[in-house]
A and B are shown apart, each in its own frame.
Chain A
Amino acid sequence: MDRTQIAPPIKAPLASLPAQTPPSRLARGRVDGGPLLARLRRPWSDRLANLALGTTSLLTCLTVGAMVALVAVRAWPTLTHNGLAWLGSGGEVDRQIEGMVATSNHPSASAYHVRAWPLLYGTLLSTGLALAVAVPFSLLSSIFIVEFAPKLVRKVISLLVRLLASVPSVIYGLVGIMVLVPFVGNHLVTIPEKRSLIGTVELTGASVGVAALILAVMITPIMVALISDALAAVPNAWREGALALGVHKLRATLAVSLRAIRPAIVAATALACARALGEAVMISMVSGSTSFAPNISHGPLTFLAEPVRTFASSIVDNHEGFGGAPALDSTLYSFALLLLFSAIVLSIGAYLIKLPLRRYQAVR
């Protein structure tokens, strides 16, 4: 799609400018005064708007920059004392963090000792499981909403989806802790299962499975909203072209529409992934908040019933000690830095993946 074809003729906006700035003056400014002079000659209200809007966008950039800088500076002691082994395994990270609460105001190098592998594993595991459920589910339901549902159904469902997307995460956490966790603990986890893990970990129902399931419920509406918007924007002519060749509707959707919106699918997945990585309160409530690394060799169902702790929920769970011990502060900041870093990697990664897909793109 060529942008110039859709754009209105160049003259139209100039003609609608107020009388005191004839088009010729604007044009002349650019030629003999250079761009700076031209900007000065623009009407005062335009310059004001430019300045005001520019300041707000600049503020956004400054906030992001300042935040990354602050977190990085505060995380630095932990990173330098642990090196890359910071992300390795060794000992119990819960005990290591708890021990920091009681360290002094001038901690020795050993106070910073932390091995965060179980947290990294927990974060990746809960996010990965949630995405594995949410991506196919949201793809299929967006296809239904846009291509197959009757108009009324479509309107009702998309309204509900948008509502679901705006529910605060703590509400999902409450439902999880009141309903799902006791259900899993009392009905799905069996006594032999519990017994087999005595001395390893306690199975109470608060688990990586429940956390991933609720995460999936939380991120699906966002993905459905984004993907169905993109699907709806695929030009009708493309669909009709496929249908005219005699393929049935599902085939046309999969071959044409879905292919055309691949960048949107990547973007939606990246956004959902970022939300899942950063979710703290809900996970802290339903995951058991134990830095245990679930082990698939215990059997797939037991594996899902094992507790877990993520970086974000670890920050929430330990905020009680915050501001008291520099070693603890720095460690929590290092978790925050990793989360910030992964958010940045995600958005850049999604952008890079989208690039080669753009030639199929229907909508920008």
Chain B
Amino acid sequence: MQPTRRVAALLAATFTLSITLPAVALASSTLSISGATASFPLVSLLTQRYAKLNKKVKFKLSQGGTQVGINEVAAGRVSVADVSRDPLPADPAGLVFYPIAKYYLCVVTNKSNPLANLTQAQVEAIFTGKVTEWRGVPGASANGPIDVISRNAAAGTLSNFQTLLIGGKKVSGPKGAPIAEKPSEGLQRQAIEKDPNAIGFLSGYFASQGVNDVGFGGVGCTLANADSGQYAGVARFYEVTKGKAKGAAASFINWIDSSRSAKQIISTQWIALK
């Protein structure tokens, strides 16, 4: 009897602790953030710095895509959403968008196909399935059919790419045939890295390694060109809250907006708002 009782007591104690401990931990304020995979690297750097300066705040960071962030913040499951596209009419009412930085979108190809430049008309023709062969693209060294690697519909980068770089058209295969749609920027880059015939689009941070970034309309897809305003594919990252930001969320967003250390982090790979 004795050993079983001891085991039972131990189990009961563990159970009670596992319930009460997290509740105790919650006493300091925790800011939960979810959303865009494109802005995740930036937000994660910002939260690390902020948590160092402000020991009372803890962050719970997750990704999932712009639409996840929008849905979760609207439902009150997280306090802040990362969003990589401008507000849309279909977004739930009552959300407040705070711009935190600008980023740029590059058209990218496989490293073995170091295409230097495409005009807007060419990009449009490729991403809407009008041009299907690499030999129809001057300057390309790949041969055979073009593999367009896109993102799923909920991605903020897809919606920005369509408005900024292909004149509001929809990315699609030839005659509307299905194309590869990846659920995250990382997987999209991985697919382009491995496929010599691939073309796709990535935010500047992800385009900076492993793939070849293609100039757009004679302007190279670089941080400097995006910063100077010459490059066309520049969009904004937002932090989004339900109603006006309050408490810890408000001070975090304010800090991004006003502090010099935040601006420093942003200007390493992204563009600080002026």
Chain A residues in contact with chain B, CB under 8 A? 92, 94, 98, 101-102, 104-105, 177-178, 181-182, 185-186, 191, 194-195, 198-202, 204-206, 284-285, 288-292, 307, 316-324
Contact = CB atoms under 8 A, between A and B. Distances in A.
Interface in B157-172: none
Contacts of A195: 133, 144-145
Given A92-B176, A206-B180, A320-B152, 7 more contacts: A181-B194, A199-B177, A201-B177, A202-B145, A202-B147, A202-B178, A317-B152
B144 A191 contact: yes
Specify which of A94, A102, A198, A200 lies most central, judged by the most chain B CB atoms within 10 Å of its CB.
A198
Contacts of B183: 284, 289, 316-317, 320
A82 B78 CA distance: 34
B156 to A, nearest CB: 11
Contacts of B191: 204, 206
B71 A198 contact: no
8 contacts: A102-B90, A194-B145, A199-B174, A201-B173, A202-B148, A319-B68, A320-B152, A323-B75
A163 B71 CA distance: 39
B180 A321 contact: no
B175 interface: yes
Contacts of B154: 101, 318, 320-321
A90 to B, nearest CB: 15
Chain B contact-residue range equals 35 or more
Contacts of B67: 101, 320-321, 324
Interface of B: 64-65, 67-68, 70-72, 74-75, 77, 88, 90, 92, 129, 132-133, 143-145, 147-149, 152-154, 173-183, 187, 190-191, 194-198
Nearest to B68: A320
B195 A185 contact: yes
A157 to B, nearest CB: 33
B180 A177 contact: no
A245 B176 CA distance: 67
Nearest to B144: A191
Contacts of A288: 180
A201 B262 CA distance: 45
Contacts of A199: 129, 132, 173-175, 177
8 closest cross-chain pairs (CB), A and B? A98-B153, A182-B194, A320-B154, A324-B71, A191-B144, A320-B65, A290-B178, A199-B175
B174 to A, nearest CB: 4
A319 B24 CA distance: 32
Contact of B143 (A92, A94, A177, A191): A191
Contact of B74 (A200, A290, A324): A324
Contacts of B143: 191
Nearest to B196: A186
Nearest to B129: A199
Contact of B71 (A185, A317, A321): A321
A320 B66 CA distance: 8
A352 B261 CA distance: 68
A170 to B, nearest CB: 13
A204 B195 contact: yes
A202 B92 contact: no
Nearest to B70: A324
B149 A204 contact: yes
A94 B154 CA distance: 12
A178 B180 CA distance: 16
